[in-house]
Amino acid sequence: MSAVGAAGIAGLTASVRAQEAKSLTNAERILESLEGHQIGGGVGHRADISLEDADVTVESTGAFFDALDSSADVIGVPGTAQIDLSGRDFTLSGQMIVSDRGIDGSPGALLYTTDHGADSPAWDGGSSGRGLITMRGGSRISGVRLRGPYHDYYDDPAYPGYIPLDDADSYQKREEMRQERYARGIRIVNDDVEVDNCELYGWPIQAISIGSASIAVSPHIHHIYGHDCMMVGAGYVIDVLNGHPTIEMSYFNATRHSIIGFGHPTCGYTLKDSVFGPITYSHAVDMHSLAENGYGDDLTAGGRVEVRRCTFAFTHTITDNPTQAIAFRGYPDDKYITENNRFLHDVDSDFENPVNTSGQSVPYRQVNVGSGWHDWQSSDNQYGLGEPHEPGVGAPVNLNDR
């Protein structure tokens, strides 16, 4: 497959400055371009596991939980099934949940919850709690749709994917409104875990949470479509609390941050061959410093983060504010690497780090470091709408190919 064509990405520029309806149109255009390819999973992607591999096939909530309690290793759920998980949560250990997303146009089985807030199973235990699904060693979820409680904001023409809280009359009231809406989809607590070919959306805090302060894990997440997870102070598809997942061949859109890290020295990720945008509320790829998370003045911001061959199809937020694609908020314990990426941002390759000045349309910035770039290796990236470099720059798809 070719690198992103100049004509294709040029066609998306209206989405970052025009009216919101045009943004929606361009989001649909990207989806059409990805269809038939493998990025984001679905049509055009073939997972190495299918419904034919299932030990048991279920189509109702009761049968689904019976299968979880059985000796079945692979639980199949047809794409026509809708499994209501409201009021419940469960742990997946040594089992796989499989559906048929993308096969003969199937959207994949729908697993969903309406739960949210401190007293719900989807936010049990708060920020270090379980969430709807806890994934332990030997578990896998493939080919399903996992829908959170706020999915109905995805088509808001003014703020697609965003849960508005602007009507609150005080900061405290807004915080209460925000926390009442919290929900987490998946919490991963072991290395031997895989999430693939899934669509995840409607999660106001985390679709996927990885590790904890004392648990560093390195799962594999690939060929997913994560979208419409956006709220003030929250809204992530993948939140890396600790560990180093590999994230690849995925599409992210309409989020506050698509991928975020907590900042532990053992916290990082390898991100490859993925597409972001055209809709965002802030920068898409992030790593906080420990100081921002209650660790005094420690400006350690993760260990090693690699971003390779990705395409960022935005330069502004949905509120028309300039934004970056990537922001790392301190010093890495090892190194930051950004290589062979395609940014819509029109800058010279030797642009200066804007540090704490966020309102600039540059591809990336390093925060809280004074000036310059620190332990950041950047090479062979492309900026703006010029002719593409040789194949291998940006994600492996032509966004003008529909």
Q: What is the pLDDT of residue 160?
A: 62
104: left (phi > 0), else alpha (psi -120 to 50), else beta?
Answer: left
Query: Chain centroid to CA 228: how far?
Result: 10
Q: What is the pLDDT of residue 157?
A: 62
Q: What is the pLDDT of residue 5?
A: 43
- What is the Cα–Cα distance from 338 to 364, expressed in whole angstroms? 10
Across the chain, which has 402 residues, the per-10-residue mean pLDDT values are 41 41 66 88 94 98 98 98 97 98 96 94 85 96 96 68 68 83 95 98 95 95 95 91 98 96 98 95 96 96 98 90 95 98 93 84 94 95 76 84 59
- What is the Cα–Cα distance from 70 to 60, expressed in whole angstroms? 15
pTM: 0.93
- What is the Cα–Cα distance from 163 to 54, expressed in whole angstroms? 37
Q: What is the pLDDT of residue 329?
A: 96
SS3 of the chain: CCCCCHHHHHCCHHHHCCCHHHHHHHHHHHHHHHCCCCCCCCCCCCCCCCHHHCCEECCCHHHHHHHHCCCCCEEECCCCCEEECCCCCEEECCCEEECCCCHHHCCCCEEECCCCCCCCHHHCCHHHCCCCEEECCCEEEECCEEECCCHHHCCCCCCCCEECCCCCCCHHHHHHHHHHCCCEEEEECCCCEEEECCEEECCCCEEEEECECCECECCEEECCEEEEEEECCECEEEEECCECCEEECCEEEEECEEEEECCCCCECEEEECCEECCCECCCCEEECCHHHHCCCCCCECCCEEEEECCEECCCECCCCCECCCEEECCECCCEEEEECCEECCCCCCCCCCCCCCCCCCCCEEECCCCCCCCCEEEECCEECCCCCCCCCCCCCCCCCCC
- What is the Cα–Cα distance from 235 to 164, expressed in whole angstroms? 12
Q: What is the pLDDT of residue 12?
A: 46
